[in-house]
Amino acid sequence: MCTTCGCSAGETRIEGQAMDGHSHVHADGTVHDHRHEAPAADGKMQYHAHHDENAHGHRHADGTWHSHDHGHEGEHVHEHGEDVIDYGQGPAHAHAPGLTQSQMVRIEQDILGKNNAYAGRNRNYFDEHGIFALNLVSSPGSGKTTLLVRTIETLKSRIQVAVVEGDQQTSQDAERIRSTGVRALQINTGKGCHLDANMVGHALERLHPEDDSVLMIENVGNLVCPAAYDLGEAHKVVILSVTEGEDKPLKYPDMFRAASLMLLNKTDLLPYVPFNVQLAIEYAKQVNPGLHIIQTSSTNGDGYEAWLGWIETGLARQRKKRAQTVAVLQKRIQELEAHLAARG
């Protein structure tokens, strides 16, 4: 589900099983839940897809059927000079056929508001269990899974690690992770271009990560949409490989702004590609002055000491938080018991 359109692909699968139903945002901004696949009167399954020309019909969970359109009214574009057509102006900073920008803003607020509620639940769960959760984001192929495999190989003797893998299709990444011996759960998002907090919540129910462990969430390869979705993680880690060009932080600022750490990856390729490391760092700091940057290579292990150290520091902080929570609760229980004893 993208914040620009609000249409949910409805094809999310966790380990091959469909997630039941989803919420759907209509062009007028109302949000309601329904299933994308439901039996019609003749007992056959009805399917509907979004973006079928201008209109689509669908059956709601209560059995009623209705159709509605994706009209094209009230949209406009801002043109700057002769050579730029800019859809990023206006309150929504985006464009979707059939929606005005104010409708888009309302839809985005609805979707992100719901997502944030789920993310808050996940974050509480992580805090209560001392789980240090990282959300790995990047464009496709920057080296997330390779990095995870090498990271796990080094950490697994000392630290419990579990992985949630997000991809549109296939379970290949989860299988690559499982080959290291740690548990991994695959979420297939179908047409969805990012994970959301509800999907991760479902994954947690299945995966049950150990207390005081690290949870790595590999997001769908996409430098845009995952930036907007809090999964409840402690940090987003953005991976930029040197084959992608040093200008990416300026072109996709939301992602570099949302991240706490940037791994400048595949540095073993620097002799072979024209990539200006200093410029990349400068651009990244320009959009996010607080961004921490580590240069890594999964081929030769450069930078891994710093990266692993960063993880262990974060995990130690998360464990301490849990210990403090437990201590506060124990103290409170003692107080209540003393109170009851005094009354009894």
Binding site for Zn ion (CB under 5 A): 2, 5, 7, 24, 50, 90, 144-145, 173, 193, 225
Residue 225 contact, options ligand GTP, Zn ion, none, Cβ 5-8 Å cut-off depending on partner type: Zn ion
User: 32: closest CA among 52, 5, 8, 55?
Assistant: 8
Between CA 144 and CA 222 the distance in angstroms is: 12
Between CA 277 and CA 84 the distance in angstroms is: 29
Q: Which is nearer to ligand GTP, 163 or 315 (CB)?
A: 163
| Local structure of 242: helix, strand or coil | coil
Between CA 220 and CA 166 the distance in angstroms is: 5
Q: Which is nearer to Zn ion, 59 or 202 (CB)?
A: 59
Q: Which is nearer to ligand GTP, 169 or 286 (CB)?
A: 169
Residue 160 contact, options Zn ion, ligand GTP, none, Cβ 5-8 Å cut-off depending on partner type: none
Residue 136 contact, options ligand GTP, Zn ion, none, Cβ 5-8 Å cut-off depending on partner type: none
In whole angstroms, how close is the CB of 69 to ligand GTP at the nearest point? Answer: 35
Query: By the criterion CB under 6 A, which residues form the site for ligand GTP?
Result: 138, 140-146, 173, 221, 265-266, 268-269, 297-299
In whole angstroms, how close is the CB of 163 to ligand GTP at the nearest point? Answer: 12
Residue 5 contact, options ligand GTP, Zn ion, none, Cβ 5-8 Å cut-off depending on partner type: Zn ion
- Hey, how many other C-beta atoms are within 10 angstroms of the C-beta on 287? 16
176 sits in which H/E element = helix 172-178
- Surface-to-core class of residue 74, CB atoms within 10 Å of its CB (0-12 exposed, 13-18 middle, 19+ buried): exposed
In whole angstroms, how close is the CB of 318 to ligand GTP at the nearest point? Answer: 25
In whole angstroms, how close is the CB of 318 to Zn ion at the nearest point? Answer: 24
| Local structure of 206: helix, strand or coil | helix
Between CA 207 and CA 205 the distance in angstroms is: 6
